[in-house]
A and B are shown apart, each in its own frame.
Chain A
Amino acid sequence: MAGLQLLSDEGFRTDGRRPNELRRLRCKIGVFTQADGSAYFEMGNTKVLAAVYGPHEVRGSRSKAMHDRVLINCQYSMAVFGGVERKKRPRGDRKSVEMTEHLQQAFESTIFLNLYPRSQIDVFVEVLQSDGSNYCACLNAAMLALVDAGIAVRDIVCASSAGLVESQTIIDMNHVEETQGKTQLIVSLLPKTKKIAVLSLNGRLHDDYWEELMESATKGCMDIFNFMEKNVQEYLASLSTSQSYADD
């Protein structure tokens, strides 16, 4: 699809959005009963399911257990039917391993690690349908799952991607925009303090555009945070009402 115009003359993107518009966000917290925490997150057509198990005793080698902090074990996996082409291996390839490490990094910055010594928290993410900004959707889904599991966190981390197309910054890139080889910045923020947990840039970027790009990504993160916070509060409210019925 070389030469595909990512930004039309009127300023619309390939899917009809304006440059600073996020895709439709939908989520559900508490999807599965078996996992300690679970969540489903949709960013446009990117659909992700996350499950959290823990905190529990360290599985496998005991030597991995740390005496003063928790071990966070992540796994990023994409469904075979998730992408445009049928993928043979759901996980274990280089990209999945890299995503896994980035997820781990983000959670280590927000979870109170010292509260769970000698324990392990498993975070499993499954991408059901992929349409760009996979990492961001995964992080957001996994964060909601952590909240559902009741793990102590400093802040609700959220992630957003931003890119640069013909000197115009765009937020929340979809698959078409990502594969055009343009600059893409992925930022993961702790919203209350606006501190950065994960930062990743692909493609080349001139120094002049850095501020603008960073600001766009931050704004995207804050918008996603508002959405997530609202849903978390609604979910907690619904939990507390159902519990009060049980007391009667």
Chain B
Amino acid sequence: MAELVLSDAEKTYIIQGIKDNFRIDGRDCGSFRYMEVETNLISNEAGSARLRLANTDVLVGVKAEIGRPSLDRPDEGRIEFFLDCSANASPVFEGRGGEALAMTIVTSLETAYSFSQCLDLKSLCLVTGEKCWVLYADILLLECGGNLFDAVSIAVKAALHDTRIPKVTVGAGEQGVIELEIPDDPSDCLQLNTENVPCLVTVNKVGHSHIVDASMQEETCCLASLVFGVRRDGVLTALKKFGSTSLDPASVHEMMEMAKHVGQAVHKSLSSALEEEEKKRSEIMSVDGLREQLFEGFLR
């Protein structure tokens, strides 16, 4: 994904700095860059969110549609991910250029979410074996600034938090045909429980040290990276290794501890950001004249 070409001197500079716990933008090895979250941007989606992690810009829309549950899990709803790497992010993504990267990220997300206690899929079932809610999480990558896995997963969590699904009552119509009734009030919705939704945390190995939230320059210097799916309570739901360099088990253990620690911090800061936005939104909604300021999105 990186079209970035760094000279050996630049790489050495970065690696030496990280050895002393001092990265090129002044952070230490375990901190994230500045993160901005906005939800409810897209009006025709059940839930949406936009995340800016320094340079990385991700837009997620979640649509809830009624469909058939999968055959091996007839009493659960489904969630499907789709990632589109927009050419805006990099000319390399033109046409089908971004498909390989998109596949990788989507597979990691699916693995992280496949743990049964992450998202309460049973609550999405309407009629066992026949009808269930299918959540389509469509992710659009607008700008690449490094650390795509994390940014995408945090944006997905924010969008799921914002998702409102209408309360549907199942009734038996005539001749055994199942009828679904939707309430008249559009605000009569269920909010998804995103307590246990995981976030992906990428830990990169640079030299002998480990860093999180690598910028694009740092990613070119990293030997190997591990992507962890971490829940709010520190439970790991997925683990995947990227990169061609081998890792020894002691490193893996260290990276795991780092990921747990950082993951919990990320969940906490995301929750507080979402709460703050919720509060600001309810303040603004109560004052008629300020309603314009709500959706700034890209206009800021």
Contact = CB atoms under 8 A, between A and B. Distances in A.
Q: On chain A, which size bracket covers the interface? A: 20 to 34
Interface stretch (B57-65, B108-116, B174-182): B57-65
Contact of A75 (B87, B143, B145): B87
Given A77-B87, A81-B61, A124-B94, 15 more contacts: A26-B299, A31-B298, A40-B298, A42-B299, A51-B88, A73-B94, A79-B61, A79-B140, A80-B84, A81-B140, A84-B44, A86-B65, A86-B136, A126-B87, A129-B42
Interface of B: 42-45, 48, 55, 57, 59, 61, 63, 65, 82, 84, 86-91, 94-96, 136, 138, 140, 142-145, 298-300
A129 B300 CA distance: 18
A34 B89 contact: yes
B282 to A, nearest CB: 24
B88 A126 contact: yes
Contacts of B48: 81
A90 interface: yes
Contact of B42 (A51, A122, A124, A128): A128
A171 interface: no
A73 B48 CA distance: 31
B145 A34 contact: yes
Contacts of A50: 88
B95 A91 contact: yes
Contacts, number: 87
A80 B138 contact: yes
Nearest to B56: A34
A221 B55 CA distance: 34
Contacts of A122: 87, 91, 94
A32 B144 CA distance: 10
Nearest to B84: A90
Interface string A86-102: 10001110000000000
Nearest to A31: B298
B42 A33 contact: no
B92 to A, nearest CB: 9
Interface string A112-149: 00000000001010101100000000000000000000
Contact of A32 (B82, B88, B299): B88
A86 B63 contact: yes
28 contacts: A28-B299, A32-B88, A34-B144, A34-B145, A35-B88, A38-B88, A45-B43, A51-B87, A75-B95, A77-B84, A79-B61, A79-B140, A80-B61, A80-B138, A80-B140, A81-B45, A81-B138, A86-B63, A86-B65, A86-B136, A86-B138, A122-B87, A122-B91, A124-B86, A124-B87, A126-B88, A128-B59, A129-B44
